[in-house]
Amino acid sequence: MTFSRAIKIAPSILSADFANFGAECQAIGAQGADWVHVDVMDGHFVPNITFGPATCAAIRPHIKGVMDVHLMIAPVDAYLEAFAKAGADVISVHLEAGAHMHRSLQTIRALGVKAGICINPATGIESVEYLLDQIDLINVMTVNPGFGGQKFIMSQLEKVRRLRALIGERPIHIEIDGGVTIETAPLVAAAGADVLVAGSAVFSGGSVANPAPYGENIRAIRAAAEAAR
């Protein structure tokens, strides 16, 4: 992975057909997705359950770009190696999910994987200030994690602007996760984000049998974001 601040569209397979993940990953890749965002939920840190490392390993061969694994689980440290072995390129952990974030982030990097920190809408950026040399990505949650299809929380735009200034020239991606649409993509791009996760906005209207809408959605979100920079 070479670092760039170009806009990356990362469809979340939380909105894909769960019975058909391999084909869904291939379809969004063919339709222009840059990254594939993989939402792992435990029913404990968040009120929903998705899947674990075995599913990540199974879909990895069907992903041509970056596999971006978002861990919404607590505790997290005992599972990091399994997600690295499953082929994750980026593993992100929640600041709110553990007391020893330096340790978790160091473990991820020691496994040869890019390390990300996720912050919930109620968490301030001062919490990441002393982690900046430990991370390759910050995921700013613009919904409360747990479900796709929620409404974008507008107050997070100010947080993204402040975070962008705090990061300066450091090679750290700013990822936005939750409620990204053609309407909100320009707002977050203008505020300084470069990785846009989108679940419902990418998968709506399409399917493995009819993937063209995926491409239309991805191109529309990308164009809206790029025009705002």
Q: Among ligand DX5, Zn ion, none, what binds residue 180 when CB lies within 5 to 8 Å by partner kind?
A: ligand DX5
CB of 169 to Zn ion, least distance (A): 26
Instruction: State the residue number with the nearest CB to ligand DX5.
Output: 199
Q: Is 180 in the site for ligand DX5 (CB under 6 A)?
A: yes
Report the alpha-carbon distance of residue 63 to residue 65 in Å, rounded.
6
Active-site positions read 39, 177
Q: Which one of residues 53, 116, 148, 192 is an interface residue with ligand DX5 (CB under 6 A)?
A: 148
Shortest CB 39 distance to Zn ion, Å: 4
Per-residue DSSP letter, 143: S
Beta bridge partners, 70, equal 39, 92
Buried b / exposed e over 96-129, threshold 16 CB at 10 Å, is bbbeebeebbebbeeeebbbbbbbbeebebeebe
Among positions 83-142, residues that touch ligand DX5 (CB under 6 A) are: none
- The CA-based angle 120-195-169, given to 5 degrees, is 95
Q: Binding residue for ligand DX5 (CB under 6 A) from 131, 150, 207, 215?
A: 150
Q: Give the number of other CB atoms < 10 A from CB of residue 175.
A: 26
Q: Is 206 in the site for ligand DX5 (CB under 6 A)?
A: no
Rounded Cα–Cα distance for residues 88 and 90 (Å)? 5
Binding site membership for a divalent metal cation: which residues? 37, 39, 70, 177
Instruction: Give the interface with ligand DX5 as residue ranges (CB under 6 A).
Output: 12, 14-15, 37, 39, 70, 143, 145-146, 148-150, 177-180, 197-201
